[in-house]
Amino acid sequence: MEPSPFLISSKKLTMWLFIVADAATFGALLFGYGFLRFGSANWTRPFGSSNIISGLAMTVILLTSSLTMLGGVAAAQDGRRSSAMRWLGATALLGVLFAALHLREWSTMLHEGWGLTANPMGGTVLFGALFFSITGLHLLHVISGVIAIVVIAIGFQTQRLTASHVETTGLYWHFVDLVWMFVFPLLYLLNLH
């Protein structure tokens, strides 16, 4: 059979193609946010220092989870199964922590009266619609990623799955981290009052 011109496995190439398509989806959402944000005269800036500190904590957690994922991939490629399990477990826990902080933030905002079509500060309702849509889609990716990591870790431990499965899942997890690198500055830092 003719080798791949990219010299990577088909599952890794498939993940790359998914990532490019998903990046276009997030890009479209963020471009839409950008145009609406700067096209609205009465845009609301709801965030204070506490929201930014919470967002910073979430960013550090997600960045750290990328590091632990790299540890997991390296351990899996070296055949160190128990070490890979520990790294992947740490990654999944950090993902759960990120999701918990995010849901806590959502809960606080919903109690304050924010919603997809509601703005308790009296300005345009677009902020709530865009914030919950974009962070919601990202959160869905985080939760899916945590489930995938747990499934892959168990499969790798029981020798049903290989190191390349761990590597491909890691690629997805780094992409989730990469998206947050745009969501945090554009949705949080630009809306500091």
Partner 1 sequence: MLMTKTSVEPTMKVYVSVWLGMILIVAIEAALAFAHVSSGVLVTALLVLAFSEAAIALRYFMHLKYEVPLLFWTLIPALLLAFFMMNQFWADSARLNTFRFPIP
Q: CA–CA separation, 121 vs 44, rounded Å?
A: 7
Instruction: Please say whether the beta carbons of 72 and 170 come within 8 A.
Output: yes
Q: CA–CA separation, 145 vs 60, rounded Å?
A: 17
Q: Residue 28, interface with partner 1 (CB under 8 A)?
A: yes
> Which CB sits closer to partner 1, 31 or 103?
31
Under rule CB under 8 A, how many of the chain's residues touch partner 1?
Answer: 47
Considering only CA atoms, which of 7, 11, 4 is closest in space to residue 169? 11
DSSP classification of residue 189: G
Q: Give the pair of three-digit tokens for residue 131.
A: 């914030």
CA 104 to each of CA 13, 176, 185: distance values in angstroms, whole numbers, following the listed order: 36, 20, 20
Among 2, 7, 41, 122, binds partner 1 (CB under 8 A): 7
Among 14, 31, 113, 144, binds partner 1 (CB under 8 A): 31
Phi/psi at 10 (5° precision): -65, -35
Size of the chain in residues: 193
Q: Residue 50, interface with partner 1 (CB under 8 A)?
A: no
Least distance between partner 1 and beta carbon 115 (Å): 25
> Which CB sits closer to partner 1, 104 or 193?
193
Q: Residue 189, interface with partner 1 (CB under 8 A)?
A: yes
Residues making contact with partner 1 (CB under 8 A): 3-10, 12, 16-17, 20, 23-24, 27-28, 31-32, 35, 39, 52, 56, 59-60, 63-64, 66-67, 70-71, 74, 77, 164, 167, 171, 174-175, 177-178, 181-182, 184-186, 189-190, 192
